[in-house]
Amino acid sequence: MVSSYGDIGPDPFALVVDPCGFLAICSDGRPAAPSLGLRPGLTIRLSRERATPG
């Protein structure tokens, strides 16, 4: 997660809290929805992958 669109690095996607307070999935400052096949109103679930020890 980054604090602003300008902080998005070389990773394909980043999470940003947008001006309306929503969590936005972005790609280089642009919406990532077209690349991910997402549409408005679609519910998505985010989770963090946990590393396996060893």
Smallest CA-to-CA distance from 1 within 36, 25, 33, 31 is with 25
- pLDDT of amino acid 18: 82
pLDDT digits (tens, 9 = 90+) for 3-32: 666 666 666 788 888 888 888 888 776 678
Has residue 37 been placed in a domain? yes
24/27 Cα distance (integer angstroms) = 10
- pLDDT of amino acid 5: 65
Q: Does residue 35 register a pLDDT over 80?
A: yes
Which residue segment(s) compose the domain that 21 sits in? 1-49
**For residues 29-40, average pLDDT:** 80
- Domains held by the chain: number: 1
Has residue 27 been placed in a domain? yes
Has residue 54 been placed in a domain? no
Instruction: Tell me which DSSP letter residue 26 carries.
Output: E
- pLDDT of amino acid 21: 87
- pLDDT of amino acid 2: 67
pTM passes above 0.85 = no
Has residue 21 been placed in a domain? yes
Has residue 41 been placed in a domain? yes
Has residue 28 been placed in a domain? yes
